Amino acid sequence: MGKPTGFMEYRRIQSKNEPALERIKHFNEFHPTLSVEERQRQGARCMDCGVPFCQSAIKLNGMVTGCPLHNLIPEWNDEIYNGSFDEAAGRLLKTNCFPEFTGRVCPKLCEKACVCAKDGDAVTIRENELFIIENAFESGIIKPEGPAVRTDKKVAVIGSGPAGLATAQMLNRRGHNVTVYERDDRIGGLLMYGIPNMKLEKRIVERRIKLMEAEGVRFVTGADIGRNISASEILDKFSAVAICCGAKKPRSLSGISEQAEGVHFAVDYLSNMTKYLLDGREPSGFVSAKGKHVVIVGGGDTGNDCVGTAIRQGCKSVVQIEIMPQLPLVRPDTNPWPQWPLVSKTDYGQEEAAAVFGRDPRIFNTTVKELITENGVLKGVKTVQVRFDENRRLTEIAGTEKTVEADLLLIAAGFLGCENYVAEAFGVELSEGNTVKTGGDGYKTSVEGVFAAGDVRRGQSLVVWAIAEGRACAKEIDKYLMGYSNMI
C-alpha cells in the first residue's frame, strides 16, 4: 500500500499551523494545507505493513487504539499516492459518513496505531483523510445520494449531533423517511455548538446539512422532545425512534456552590460564543472573557477550547486547573505501541496561552477548594494540591492552598450522562452512569421501537465513536423495520 519504500524515503510533514499570535486574532480554522504533490508523498509513507492496526479499533489495556469506523486506510492512502483522488473518496466514504468532521476534530486513534509509529513517525492519516474529502467536494463528485425507492417506514431521530446525523443519513439512503428533531435553533448538535469555530468552521457543518436535505432528510429545529413536543406524539407518528441527543449534563464542582456571578459551565460559554459568531449579535446569556482573569477547571479538550476562546476574546490572564497529574513527556515502557500513548500533549489553546502570557496555563494535581466572592460576585478561587492514595482516593495536600484571582470561572469537568427528561419522556431505562440502557452491544432500548446511539448511550466520547454508533444503530433499526438489512 502506498509506495513500498515510501516510509523510508519521505519524512512525516504535517500542515503547519498559523502562528499563535496571528491566529488568536480570528475564530477561523488555522491549518494551511500542503501542496498536492506533498500530500501524495505523505500517502506514499503508508507501508505494506501486513496487519493494518490503524483500522482495527482494538482495546488494549482498557483503551481503544485504531479507527472505530474501520476506515480502509491503506487503500485510500494508496489511491492518494497514485493520484487517484476520486477513487480514494470512494473508499473513504464506504465507512465514514462525514470525513470532513473527523478529518478536523478526531484525536487520531488511527495514527496512534500506525505501524510507522512503532519506531518513528505515523503516517499523516487524518490530514490525508481531510484532503480526500475536501478534494471530493471541490471536484464536484460529492452529490446528493437520495434513494431510488422509498419505503413506507418513518423514523424519528432525536438530536442532530454526529450520531443523529449518521443514523439519519444511513436510514434515508436506505429509503426510509427520516425526520431529525433538534432543540437548538440550528442543526448539528455538538458539531455546531460544542466544537469551536477554529476547530470546525460552521460552514462545513451547514454544507453537509444542505446535502442531506437535498437527499430527502427532514430537519426540525426548536423541537425539544419531552418539553414542547411530547414523546407520545413522536411514537404515534413514527415506525421507529433513535434517541441521539448526547450526554450534555455537566459535572459540577464537588462541594462548591456555583451560584456566584461569573461562574459558568464551559458548554454554555462555548455555545454562546458560536451563536455570537453566527448571528453577529450577543445571544441571551452571552459571556465574554475580555479584560478578565479567567480560571478554567478541566484539563481535557473542552478546557483547552475554553483557553483558546478566552484568549481570542481578550482575557487578562488564564489558568487551567487539572486534577490529574501531568502525563510523562516520553512514552513509558509499560505503555508500548500499539496501545494508546499515555504521554503529555500541548494543544492549540495552551500553545496560544504560552505565546501571549509566556507560560503554559495548566496547573496539575490541583482542584478548586473554595470560591471567593464579594456581594455574590466572583473575585477569586482558592485552590489546593491533591494526590491519589493507594486506593485511588483523592486527598488534599496540607499547606498547598493558594488564592488565584478570577473574574470568570469556567467549569469543564466533563459530563454526567444524558439530560434525563428525554429518556423519561420515552420511558427508557437508564444505566448507573445515567446513559440510556440498551441490550448487550446493540442499540435497542427497553421500549419497543425505540433505539439509542452515541453519547446518550455510551457516555461522553468522540465524534468518530458517535458516527460509528449512528451507523450501527441505523443498521439495527433497518433490520427491525424490514426484517433484514443490507447495510454495510
**Single-letter amino acid, residue 301:** D
Q: What count of residues does the chain have?
A: 488
List pLDDT tens digits, range 83-140. 999 999 999 999 999 999 999 999 999 999 999 999 999 999 999 999 999 999 999 9
What is the C-alpha separation between 29 and 206, in angstroms, rounded?
15
pLDDT at 50: 86
The CATH number fitting domain 6-139, selected from 1.10.443.10, 3.40.50.2300, 1.10.760.10, 1.10.1060.10: 1.10.1060.10
In CATH terms, the fold of domain 263-411 is: FAD/NAD(P)-binding domain (3.50.50)
pLDDT at 440: 83
List pLDDT tens digits, range 228-244. 999 999 999 999 999 99
Reported confidence tier of residue 258, pLDDT bands at 50, 70, 90? confident
What is the C-alpha separation between 373 and 343, in angstroms, rounded?
37
What is the C-alpha separation between 217 and 435, in angstroms, rounded?
27
- Of 251, 279, 282, 278, the C-alpha closest to 267 is 251
pLDDT at 1: 59
pLDDT for residue 389 is more than 90 = no
The partner residues of 405 in beta bridges, in order of sequence, read 380
Is the CB of residue 190 less than 8 Å from the CB of residue 465? no
pLDDT at 458: 95
Is the CB of residue 339 less than 8 Å from the CB of residue 351? no
pLDDT for residue 48 is more than 90 = no
Is the CB of residue 305 less than 8 Å from the CB of residue 193? no
What is the C-alpha separation between 137 and 125, in angstroms, rounded?
19
List pLDDT tens digits, range 294-329. 999 999 999 999 999 999 999 999 999 999 999 999
Domains of the chain by residue range? 6-139, 154-248+416-482, 263-411
Is the CB of residue 256 less than 8 Å from the CB of residue 384? no
Is the CB of residue 53 less than 8 Å from the CB of residue 134? no
Q: Do the domains at 6-139 and 154-248+416-482 have one common CATH topology?
A: no
**H helices within 314-378, ranges in order?**
348-357
Is the CB of residue 163 less than 8 Å from the CB of residue 453? yes
- For the entire predicted model, the pTM comes to 0.96
In CATH terms, the fold of domain 154-248+416-482 is: FAD/NAD(P)-binding domain (3.50.50)
Is the CB of residue 361 less than 8 Å from the CB of residue 293? no
